[in-house]
Every structure is written in C-alpha cells, then in structure tokens.
Amino acid sequence: MQFFEIVGGTRLKGTVDISGAKNAALPIMAASILVDGESILHNLPDLADVGQMQTLLARLGVKSERDASGAMHLRVEDEMNAHAEYELVSKMRASVCVMGPLLAKRRRAQVSMPGGCAIGDRPIDLHILGLQSFGADFELVNGDVLLRAKKLKGNEVFLGGPFGSSVTATANVMMAATLAEGRTVIASAACEPEVVDLANYLNACGARVAGAGTPEITVEGVESLHGAEHRIIPDRIEAGTFMIAAAITNGDLELHGARMEHMRALVDRLRRVGVVIERGEKGIAVSSSRRLEPVVITTQPFPGFPTDLQAQAMALLCLADGNSVITEKIYPDRFLHVGELNRMGAQLRKEGPTVIIEGVKRLVGAPVMASDLRASAALILAGLVAKGTTRVHRTYHIDRGYESIETKLAAVGANIRRMNETSP
C-alpha cells in the first residue's frame, strides 16, 4: 500500500495542464458497445478507473488499446457476452454505464447491482426505470439486474429523483435511445457537461441526440452507429481541485484547458471567499491573498455547486476568517473527511446533511485516512497548508480519478511524495 507524504507550507505557483474528464471518459468508453467500427478517443486520462473500464469492456468483447499519442482505439470484436459481473462492478460503480448500451445493442443486459459505497446509498432505480420504458423486461437474478427486450421502442421518460436527476441514468437512457425505434424524450435529464460530451460523441457516431445540457433531451433512434473520433472535455473537478489548491496555499496557478463555463458555481463561491479568478489565455488563472472570507455552500446538480468538490471546498473553508456552512444535497452522507480534517485541527461540526465550519488560524499535519476519491483530494489540500507533515494513506482512492496528482502538484512547488508503506 502507498501513501502521500506532504510537508505543508509552500505556496503553489505555475501552470497545471488539466487532464480529460474521468466522468465523461467512462460513459463514452461504455458507449463503444453501441458502435460498429472503430472509435478513437483523445484526451482520455490515465486513471485506474479508465483501466478498470477497459477490463470490463474486454470481458464484454470490446478491444481497446492506446496508440503512441495516448489516444484510445476501441472496437467491438465479440457480442456474445452481456454480463457485467459483481467482481468488476463492485470495484467501480461507473460499470453500470454498460447497461444501456448492452440492452440496446445486444438486447440483453445483465449487470450486477453496485450496492452502497463510501459516499452513501447509491440506488440505480432511475437507470432501471428509464431502460424499462423502452419495453424491456426486468428481473433481479442473484443480485444482478437482468434486462431483456426483443426490440427497444422510444418513449417519454422522467428521470427526476429525490435528489434531482441522475447523471449516469441520463447517460444510460440516452445511449439506449440512440438505437431504439422512434423518438425518446428524457424529461428532467441531468445537465452536466459530461452528459453533453457523451451526446457529442454519440452524434459524431451518427446518433440523433438534441437538447443535451438542458433538462429535456430528445433522441431520434437510428439503425446503427459508426465509429468516430472524439476529444474528451477537460476535467472540471480536477480543475476545481487545483483552483482550491491555489486558494489554500495563497498561490498563483494557471490551469490550462479549464473551462469557465463548466465551473461557474465554484468560481462564484471562491470569489466570495476572496480568491481572484480570471480567464487566462489558455484556461483559468487563480490567485489568492491571505484572508479568506467564510461562505455558505449547498451542493446541487449542474450548474449548481458540484458534490464532487464539496470535500475540497471544506478543506479551504477550515481556514476562513469566520464560520462557513456546507450542505450536501446530492449525497447527504458524503462526509467521511470531516473526522479526518478534525484530526488536523479543523473545527467541523456535522448536523445531518450540513457541516458547520468554524474557521481556524491553522491546520497541523497528521496521519489521515482517505475514504473515497474526493475526500482524499481534500486531505491532500489540507496537507499542503498544514504545519508539519501529513500522511494521506490509501492512495488508491486518488489514483482512481486524478492523473499523476503528486507530479502535477510537485511541479508547481508542493512538497509531496508518494511512498510505500514499507519505505523507511
């Protein structure tokens, strides 16, 4: 097992290249199941989750390999298997994104129910409801969702749930609809940029998807999809994490590739905190002066403040001059970082889905345990500014979703090293 050792107190300065978006890459890779011929994906991040999706796709008969430029070539070679097994799905929830493509192309999808995870309950009822609307039969078999249909018929489907829409359910229904007979209307669709990126890829393959990025998506089914070349959008969550890294270290970073239109809620909150954010020539420039103002943050579906930046924002607000409040409206239990930040001297009090953050003058280094991807990022951010040494254990969480985070941070001045648990 590995951990990150961070000696806090350095100011970050320089340029960071933002990688391709994990949450755009994974459903787009899954969409290759729908396609006849080869697709080429550029700007795919080099992440554990991308490797995991390649393994799952390989089991499902999709060959994928990177060329010398890093672009990934994907092609279906065998359509026999339509079963995503527990062993693979339990390692990565995004595996559920193969459900819509398998049902649409192979008329059968058997996908293990993912179950809960560190950030709370994560039901898939909206995925199933959406896919049943095409006329598919649904059964639960040994913990697997089994969907079957002789043909898929387009329909109207409402994907609103108790916490808003669902990003990957929208992706699943949109993907299945591309090969369904007739028109599908997805009401209360997720508006996240990753959904738009998926729609752009599908359209490049010959699909007829309109309205992605709005709450109503219309898909006119086509007979087949052909291969296409596509460039994955930059990762707004990675970019947001580096923005907060600049803010928390009183630093000055230029984030190449970051897109302001994907990050307005974060930019709005950070400006209120006192962080200076400007459009740069190649992305976004972020700098900070020392005094941080407290703010109120509520996570919401896009274009609201993303749940995937809640933990990182909390690390920053630990050092604000006053009390801040963060309410989590997407995953009310996504707070495993609270106890760890408190070990570093933060003053956080959780009350239901809300955390009250009493700003402190400084954080102190400590050994801490990462519990999930974004909580790990928050602990690294806290470590960058804490007095002394912080060890963030369980690096595998961060490797799922941040490409070479320690290399990128070290290149702009952070004192961070990846170590093996056995290292002296």
Q: Does 125 bind ligand EPU (CB under 6 A)?
A: yes
Could you give the CA distance from residue 305 to residue 292 in angstroms, rounded to a whole number?
19
Q: What are phi and psi of 372, to 5 degrees?
A: -155, 175
Nearest distance from C-beta of residue 165 to ligand EPU, angstroms: 7
Beta-bridge mates of residue 156: 185
Catalytic site residue from 97, 117, 191, 318? 117
Count, residues in the chain: 424
What counts of helices (H) and strands (E) characterise the chain?
Answer: 14, 26
Query: Could you say whether residue 240 binds ligand EPU (CB under 6 A)?
Result: no
- Residues contacting residue 289 through CB under 8 Å, at least 6 positions apart: 250, 274, 276
For residue 347, the minimal CB distance to ligand EPU (Å) is 26
- Single out the segment in contact with ligand EPU by CB under 6 A; choices: 101-109, 124-132, 249-257, 414-422: 124-132
Give CA–CA dist 179/228, Å, rounded. 16
Residues 371 and 336: their CA atoms lie apart, in Å, by 7
Nearest to ligand EPU of 267, 292 (CB atom) = 267
Cα 149 → chain centroid:
30
Q: State yes or no: residue 123 binds ligand EPU (CB under 6 A).
A: yes
Q: Is 97 a catalytic residue?
A: no
> How many residues at the interface with ligand EPU, by CB under 6 A?
26
Kindly state whether residue 163 participates in binding ligand EPU, applying the rule CB under 6 A: yes
Counting contacts by CB under 6 A, is residue 335 touching ligand EPU?
no
List Cα–Cα distances, 280 to 262, 272, 277, 290, 408, in angstroms. 15, 20, 9, 22, 19
Q: Is 401 in the site for ligand EPU (CB under 6 A)?
A: yes
Query: Which of 189, 191, 246, 330 lies at the binding interface for ligand EPU (CB under 6 A)?
Result: 330
Exactly one of 233, 244, 373, 381 binds ligand EPU (CB under 6 A); that residue is: 373
Tell me: does residue 26 bind ligand EPU (CB under 6 A).
yes
Q: Which segments of 242-370 are extended strands (E)?
A: 252-256, 275-279, 283-288, 296-298, 323-327, 347-351, 354-358, 367-369
270 touching ligand EPU, by CB under 6 A: no
Work out how close the CB of 299 gets to ligand EPU at its nearest, in angstroms, rounded to a whole number: 8
Burial of residue 351, with CB atoms counted within 10 A of its CB: 0-12 exposed, 13-18 middle, 19 or more buried:
exposed
In angstroms, what is the minimal distance from the CB of 125 to ligand EPU? 5
Tell me: does residue 381 bind ligand EPU (CB under 6 A): no
**What is the amino acid identity at position 410?**
A
Is residue 9 within the footprint of ligand EPU (CB under 6 A)?
A: no
Integer Cα distance of 243 and 287 in angstroms: 8
In the complex, which residues of this chain contact ligand EPU (CB under 6 A)? 23, 26, 93-94, 122-127, 161-163, 166-169, 190, 194, 307-308, 330-331, 373-374, 401
Catalytic residue positions, numbered = 117
